[in-house]
Amino acid sequence: MSAEVKSVNNHILPHGELDGFIRKLSKKMKVVAPVAKEAGNFAFQEVSGASEIALKYVPTVLPPKKYFMPQREKMLDFDLTGAQPSDKAVIDAPELAVFGAHTCDLAGIQCLNMVFSERPRDYNYLLRKEKIFLIGMECNDYCDENASCALVNSHMPSGGYDLFFTDLGDRFMVHVNTQKAEEIVEEMGLAKASPADLAALDKVRERKRSVFRNEIGVDPRKLPEAFAKGEKSKVWEDLGARCVSCGNCTNVCPTCYCFDMADNVDLNMKTGSRNRTWDSCQFETFASVAGGENFREARSERQRHRYYRKFKYPLDKFYRFFCTGCGRCTRTCMARINLKETLKGLAKETV
C-alpha cells in the first residue's frame, strides 16, 4: 500500500495539543482514561484534561469492559400493583469516550462483541457499545512481566476502535477507523500524516516486533493440541490445590462475561427491579443446580474450565483465543497462580 493511500486515514496530533483534544472531547461527552493510583496501579476514570492521564501504564485493575458490561446493571423495573403485571426495560447508556485502551483490551472488547451479538442478542450490551467512542493507545514497550500478549497476537492493533493513537516521540499518529471518528478528527482540525510520519510509524512497529516476543517459548499453534490432550493433566490438580476460589482472575479478565440475574423486591412486595451482576465460574456455587448436584465441585475442575474457556472452547467456536495476554489474572491471584507457568507446564506434559 502506497504512503499516499495510507495517509488518508492517518492524522497527526502534536504532544502539546493532546490536552486541547481531551478538553474539546470532554465538552461533547464524558471522557474516561487510565489514571495513576497508589502502589503502581492504574484505573480508568473520568478525566477533563491530559495532565490527569497516564499515557504509559501497566494494565488497569479492571479493564474498560466495565463500561460495556457494568459490574451491576438494572435490566428492568416491574410493577404488580395493577390488574396485569407490567415491566419496563431499563438501559443506562450515556455518550462516553474511552481513551487510552491498550490493544489487549481492544481485543477483549472484540471478543465480547462476538459473544453478545450471538442470538439471543444482548441488546443492553449492544446499545451501550454504540454509545461508546473507543480510542486505543499503542503500548510500544514491554510493560509488564505478567503479560503474554505476543503469544496470543494481541500486541499489535487489529481494529475494534474508533481512533488509535501511536506515540512517535513528539507527536501521535492517529488512525481513523470509523465515520464517527472521521467527523471528530475533522472537527478537531488534525493534519493528515505525511510520508515521513508514516515512515516513523513503521520504525516504531519494527522496533516493537523485536521487543514483544512469545513470552512462554511455546508455539501458539501447539496450544490447541495441548488442551485437546490435557483434560486429565496433573497441572489442574496443582492449580486446584492452590486456588482459594476468590474469583479475582475472572473479575479482572477482559473477556469473562458470566453474570447472575436476580429480582430485588421492594418492601411493598409489589414493585421492584431485575438486576444482573458479574459472576464467576470460580465460585463454588456457580455450577450448582437443583437437587444439590454440582458439576464442577472441585477447584481443579473450575480452574481447568477457566483455562479451557480461554484457549479451547472459543477457538473451536470463534476461531480465536479469548485470552488477550493482559496478565491481570496472574497479577491479582491471591494464590500466585501464573498463567504463563500453567501454559508452559501443560505444553511440557502434552506436546
Q: How much is the pLDDT for 6?
A: 56
**Backbone conformation region of residue 40, classed left if phi is above 0, alpha if psi is from -120 to 50, else beta:** left
What is the number of other CB atoms lying within 10 angstroms of the CB of residue 336? 8
Q: What does the longest C-alpha to C-alpha distance in the chain come to?
A: 71
Query: How many angstroms separate the CA atoms of 210 and 223, rounded?
Result: 23
Q: What grid cell was written down for 67?
A: 463500561
Query: How many angstroms separate the CA atoms of 69 and 56, rounded?
Result: 25
The domain limits of the chain are: 3-69+92-211, 220-350
Pairing relation of β-strands 271-278 and 259-265?
Answer: antiparallel
Torsion angle of the four alpha carbons 78, 80, 84, 89, in this order, in degrees rounded to the nearest 10: 0
Q: How would you write the pLDDT of the chain (351 residues) with one tens digit per residue?
A: 444 445 569 999 999 999 999 999 999 999 999 999 999 999 999 999 999 999 999 999 999 999 999 999 999 999 999 999 999 999 999 999 999 999 999 999 999 999 999 999 999 999 999 999 999 999 988 678 899 999 999 999 999 999 999 999 999 999 999 999 999 999 999 999 999 999 999 999 999 998 898 889 899 999 999 999 999 999 999 999 999 999 999 999 999 999 999 999 999 999 999 999 999 999 999 999 999 899 999 999 999 999 999 999 999 999 999 999 999 999 999 999 999 999 999 999 998
